[in-house]
Amino acid sequence: MDDRAKGLCHEARPRLHAALLDAPDLSGSAGDARVRASALAAERGDTSAIERLAATRAHRAILEGTAAALHASARRQRGTDYGEYEGLIRDGAAVLELDRHFGASRPFSASQLETYLSCPFQFFAKHVLKLTPVEERDELDEDYTQRGSDLHDILEKMEARFLHLEGEPDWLAAAEAEVERLSNVEPANATDLDMGLWEIQRTRLIETIHLYIHQRQKYQEEAGHRFAPRMLELDFGSEGAQYPMLEIRDGARSLRLMGRIDRIDVAGEDQGARFRVIDYKSGHAPSPNEVKTGEMLQLPLYAMAVERIVFRGEAATLADLGYWSLKSDGYRPISFEDWENDKLELIRHVLSLVDQLRGGNFVVHSRREGCESFCDYRGVCRVRQVRQAGKRYAWILPKLSAQARRARKAAKAVSAAPGGDA
């Protein structure tokens, strides 16, 4: 700092502590005074300032909250075991209420179970406390949820055109019709900004349509026309759905599952149908290993639902299942070497998850590194403190026989199977 700058300063200080420990005269506001007093107690063991503030009514209620937070933080630093300060509910009445609320009559979705397995605390915040996240998306940011929904609607319309067609589908004509429809759509009461954003969104949707047509033609060539869509956007378990909930039982333990399946393709109907369950993904598609370890439950559970309630009483068997990556290489089949045993493992796995949920296990443990930067509930989560304390929660996961298969190999396997030439 030069002499002229120094002369303009009321007072020059070379360095200030963030909590103003050595500058009590600068902590003029009530909040600054509490921060300084707390820092003195924490860093220097000097409790005189915080005791003095706590003796006044204006500060006491706030400092009680501070004391509770410090107590919880200190408890999180003790050892590596999880406790009530890391998401384990130990109050008996609360556990009984959880068991009642999430009892056998309460339906679950596969995505809820995946959320619980990914981060039990996120499930707690979303489905137990029912907290509504604060919308922090910039108006210029893309709404990925809406884009995914729009794409699902578009693909359903395109596939529905040829659902019962016996001849060769004209995919280029379907694409042109959908592009034409999108070109004539405009948001109601839109501002110039809204129109600009919609034009960007529309362009991206059209690009995805053209990519999907390429993927779809390739899929049909590799499947040798054996697999064809049978059902689209199939609901089961919801109010008014054609099919009931999937009930999973193991002795006295049970759960009810509901969901919506993007697409079911069938091959060889005349001599024993073989089906595949497909889920569209406009973003990241889960890996086969995540299915193998039971971390991604949706498609295997949907396959069970198709067997038990959609094709009930029919000689239909699972060929494979997989995610259709709309921004990459299309359908990626995942097969099971021992599907019958895998179903038993899957049942034990999901019932174990629900048992822990009903028992009050909502540990602050996320499978996704860096979640504190993007999770909707990062403002109420203390995952950083838990990780800094070296605490890691280990799930007991199954090892299913799932494996990735190339599309051509999967098509050959179907061709060699009984009824594969139908």
Does 422 score more than 50 pLDDT? no
- Structure token pair of residue 419: 């009824």
CB contact set of 71 (below 8 Å; sequence gap of 6+): none
Give percent of the chain with pLDDT exceeding 90. Answer: 42
Q: How far apart (Å, rounded) are the C-alpha atoms in residues 399 and 341?
A: 11
Q: What is the pLDDT of residue 46?
A: 86
Q: What is the pLDDT of residue 276?
A: 95
Q: 418 pLDDT band (50/70/90 cuts)?
A: very low
Mean pLDDT check: name the lowest of 130-144, 255-269, 327-341, 406-420: 406-420
Residue 27 confidence (pLDDT): 78
Let me know: does 342 contact 292? Beta carbons within 8 Å. no
B/e letters for 44-58, b = 16+ CB within 10 Å, e = fewer, are: eeeeebbeebbeeee
Q: Between β-strands 402-404 and 330-336, what pairing exists: parallel, antiparallel or unpaired? A: antiparallel
> Do residues 144 and 283 make contact, with C-beta atoms less than 8 angstroms apart?
yes
Q: What is the pLDDT of residue 10?
A: 62
Mean per-residue pLDDT for 286-292? 95
Q: How confident is the model at residue 16 (pLDDT cuts 50, 70, 90)?
A: confident
Q: Tell whether the model's pLDDT for residue 149 goes beyond 90.
A: no
> Binning pLDDT at 50, 70 and 90, where does residue 408 land?
very low
pLDDT grade, residue 243 (50/70/90)? very high
How many angstroms separate the CA atoms of 286 and 282, rounded?
Answer: 12
- Give pLDDT, residue 317: 93
Residue 120 has pLDDT above 80, yes or no: yes
Tell whether the model's pLDDT for residue 411 goes beyond 60: no
Predicted confidence at residue 217, as pLDDT, reads 87
Q: What is the pLDDT of residue 142?
A: 63
Average pLDDT over residues 251-273: 88
Confidence of residue 420 (pLDDT cuts 50, 70, 90): very low
Q: What is the mean pLDDT of residues 354-369?
A: 94
pTM confidence score: 0.81
Q: What is the predicted pLDDT for the residue at 14? A: 63
Would you say residue 179 has pLDDT above 90?
Answer: no
pLDDT at 47 over 70: yes
Q: In 3D, which of 228, 229, 235, 175 has the Cα closest to residue 205?
A: 175
Average pLDDT of the chain is 86
Which tops the pLDDT comparison, 206 or 339? 339
Contact 274, 146 (CB under 8 A): no
Strand partners, 246: 257
Q: What is the SS3 assignment for 165? A: coil
- Residue 7 pLDDT class (50, 70, 90 cuts): low
The tokens 């030069």 sit on which residue? 2
- The percent of residues above 70 in pLDDT, for the chain, comes to 89
Closest CA to 258 of 245, 267, 268: 245
Question: Which pLDDT value is given to residue 419?
Answer: 43
pLDDT at 109: 96
Asked if residue 28 has pLDDT above 90, the reply is no
- pLDDT grade, residue 391 (50/70/90)? confident
The interaxial angle of helices 171-183 and 192-223, nearest 10 deg, is 170
Longest Cα–Cα distance of the chain, Å, equals 96
Residue indicated by tokens 């979303």: 126
Q: 246: Cβ–Cβ under 8 A, 6 or more apart, which residues?
A: 236, 237, 256, 257, 258, 301, 304, 305, 308, 309
The end-to-end CA distance of the chain, in Å, is: 86
Contact 86, 391 (CB under 8 A): yes
Residues in a beta bridge with 318: 275
Lowest pLDDT segment from 142-151, 184-193, 214-223, 346-355: 142-151
